[in-house]
Amino acid sequence: MKELNKINFNFEIARPWFALSFFWFIIIIFLGIVMRFSFAFNVVLPTPIEFTRHAHSHTAFWGWAGPGFFGFILAILIDETKRSRVYENILFWGIQLVSFCALLSFILSGYSKLSIVFSTLMVFFWLGFSFYLLKFGKKIKHSSSLLVYIVRLAVLMLVVSTFPTFFIPISVLTGFGGEVVKSIAIHFFLDSYSEGWLYVMSFVLLLFLKKEEPNLELTKFSKILLLLSFPILILVSLRSSVFLFPKSISVLIFTASLLWGILQIIVVSRLIHKELNYTFLFVSILILFKAILDIIVGLPFFTLFVQSKMFVLLYLHVKLLGIMSVSILIFVVNAYFSNDNRILYSKRIFLSGVAITLMAMLVIAMASILPSFVGSSLGLELSWLWQSGQILAFCAALPVIISVLILFVFLIPQIREF
């Protein structure tokens, strides 16, 4: 996929961003495996498991996915003639340094004042990135491209997601606003960031994975869908704290979630009808699965699923590992590597590992809620299902990290060139 058709993809700009994102991806999978090992074999870790969980999820956001997308956006939208290398270097190294400090502080002290300081610093870099894009981005050239409009929606959601983050440290340090408002702020940040920014950006990569013309024209229909997406995404970002709102707003949030699910199905079904490759099919199936979960989230019968921690974790990994990480990784591999057999096998091992990891998480999620359906007497018998799911999830994560390590070794010559 060296030729990216009409969109002029600047490989040089994106390379360092992708290379270091890969490095962070290895770290987060490693942390995920450490947690899986601890759950599967009941091993107590040297620091509390929540510390590792926070380090894992925040590094996934700060170091892996965010900067990966920054590299991608700079590569298609920055005007080479206006580019400021100094500004880009400050953004790049600043993000890497803060990711490193945040990782250490989360592992050693969990959600502490120190980790909150680093997280807040990171927010300034995101705003700095958005400002850079606004000032130096190509404005007219791609204005009719669907792809550029999706990027704009995602960056807008990135900016919106930063608003509550200024409130969170003030609230944590001074107690201002009380627990309810703090909880809404934290959930709004996490959901608008992961759904509005990261997940929406995955759709841009999906256009490339289709191996067709990614520079699709913006039709009237897609413009309406995009305009609708913004308010819907704002409401969907309030979904995790829905129980804290009055009933009328809850109904609005659930309706937005339903519409969001339908929108995703429309987009995928419009993309899916032509030539397909297995990665595209893999990601599309997961998007459909996620969209169905978005639709049923508000139905009373399914409240049990939504309130189950294991289902929430399954949902998060379908979105962030199965859809988003697969899209970035396969995009980078297709763009930078020749399609020889070693690369092909590594990609297949990676996808199989991700698929089995998600299936194991489904088993764990089912084992966690089935007793509520069939009575607690069966709950004890289901503990073997729970434990088998944990062991399967641990084993499935091993091929994921091995294949990513192999790909990383192939990437090293690319890093040297930088």
Buried b (16+ CB within 10 A) or exposed e, 127-146: eebbebbeebbbeeebeebb
Nearest to 53, CA basis, from 74, 72, 67, 39: 39
**Of the candidate residues 19, 33, 123, 358, the single one contacting ligand HEM (CB under 6 A):** 33
Least distance to ligand HEM, CB of residue 85, Å: 29
- Does residue number 29 form part of the binding site for ligand HEM (CB under 6 A)? yes
- Does residue number 90 form part of the binding site for ligand HEM (CB under 6 A)? no
**What one-character-per-residue DSSP string does 133-159 give?**
HHHHB--STTTTBHHHHHHHHHHHHHH
- Does residue number 96 form part of the binding site for ligand HEM (CB under 6 A)? no
Nearest to 149, CA basis, from 68, 325, 61, 267: 267
Nearer to ligand HEM, 284 or 403 (CB): 403
Span interacting with ligand HEM, options 60-68, 98-106, 121-129, 219-227, rule CB under 6 A: 60-68
Span interacting with ligand HEM, options 32-40, 149-157, 248-256, 408-416, rule CB under 6 A: 32-40
Question: Which residues inside 143-202 make contact with ligand HEM, applying CB under 6 A?
Answer: none
- Does residue number 53 form part of the binding site for ligand HEM (CB under 6 A)? yes
Phi, psi of 142 (to 5 degrees): -110, 25
At residue 217, the 3 state secondary structure works out as strand
**Of the candidate residues 27, 35, 77, 102, the single one contacting ligand HEM (CB under 6 A):** 35
Least distance to ligand HEM, CB of residue 224, Å: 30
Least distance to ligand HEM, CB of residue 95, Å: 16
| Residues that contact ligand HEM, how many (by CB under 6 A) | 22
Nearer to ligand HEM, 32 or 137 (CB): 32
Please tell me what DSSP assigns to residue 101: H
CA 287 to CA 214: how far, in whole Å?
19
Least distance to ligand HEM, CB of residue 356, Å: 10
Least distance to ligand HEM, CB of residue 192, Å: 14
Half-sphere exposure of 208 (CA within 13 A, CB side): 27
At residue 9, the 3 state secondary structure works out as coil
CA 280 to CA 340: how far, in whole Å?
19
**Contact residues for 85 (Cβ-Cβ < 8 A; gap 6+):** none
- Does residue number 239 form part of the binding site for ligand HEM (CB under 6 A)? no
**Of the candidate residues 400, 403, 407, 411, the single one contacting ligand HEM (CB under 6 A):** 400
CA 104 to CA 115: how far, in whole Å?
9
- Interface mask toward ligand HEM for 292-321; x: CB under 6 A: ---------------------x--xx--xx
The answer to whether 324 and 199 have CB atoms below 8 angstroms apart is: yes
Query: Residue of minimal CB distance from ligand HEM?
Result: 32
CA 383 to CA 376: how far, in whole Å?
11
Least distance to ligand HEM, CB of residue 53, Å: 5
The CA R_g of the chain, rounded to the nearest whole Å, is 21
Least distance to ligand HEM, CB of residue 140, Å: 34
Tell me which residues touch ligand HEM (CB under 6 A): 28-29, 32-33, 35-36, 53-54, 56-57, 60, 64-65, 313, 316-317, 320-321, 325, 357, 397, 400
